[in-house]
Amino acid sequence: MNEKIILFDGVCNFCNFWVKFAGKRDGKKVLKFAPLQSETGQTLLRKNGISTDKLSTVVFLDDGKVYTQSGAAFRICKYLDGIWKLGYVFIIIPKPLRDYLYNLIGRNRYRWFGKSDSCMLPTADMKDRFL
């Protein structure tokens, strides 16, 4: 299967911003999206052997491979248009350092950026890409 699916924290304002950001910059429309909290998100987590109660990381399913934390974030950049594609080069930073910074933001995302009461609703132009 040739799917590229981003599973994200649907109540995290920071995460929702980045989903919208990625959606607008994915000119080929290859990225699909599902909140981690949704039935689809939970099913995909279980199917890929990821605990459904750990909702602290983005999960990127790319052609059957599973990426989390900074590895997911930087691999998503490969599918963005323009200069944003260059974000992938940061994958060369050692994983422990990348994930330390990723987890620092992850632990504080609600405090710094807020939290919604429910998962985001996709915009009209992204609706067909939500699972």
- Ramachandran angles phi, psi of 45, nearest 5°: -60, -50
Sorted by sequence, the CB contacts under 8 Å of residue 114 that are 6+ apart come out as 13
Interval 56-85: pLDDT, tens: 889 999 988 999 999 999 999 999 999 999
Interval 78-123: pLDDT, tens: 999 999 999 999 999 999 999 999 999 989 998 998 888 777 777 7
Q: What is the DSSP secondary-structure string of 57-107?
A: S-EEEETTEEEEHHHHHHHHHTTS-GGGGGGGGGGGS-HHHHHHHHHHHHH
End-to-end CA distance of the chain: 15
Domain residue limits, the chain: 4-129
By three-state DSSP, how is residue 115 classified?
strand
Comparing CA positions, the residue from 129, 120, 122 lying closest to residue 37 is 120
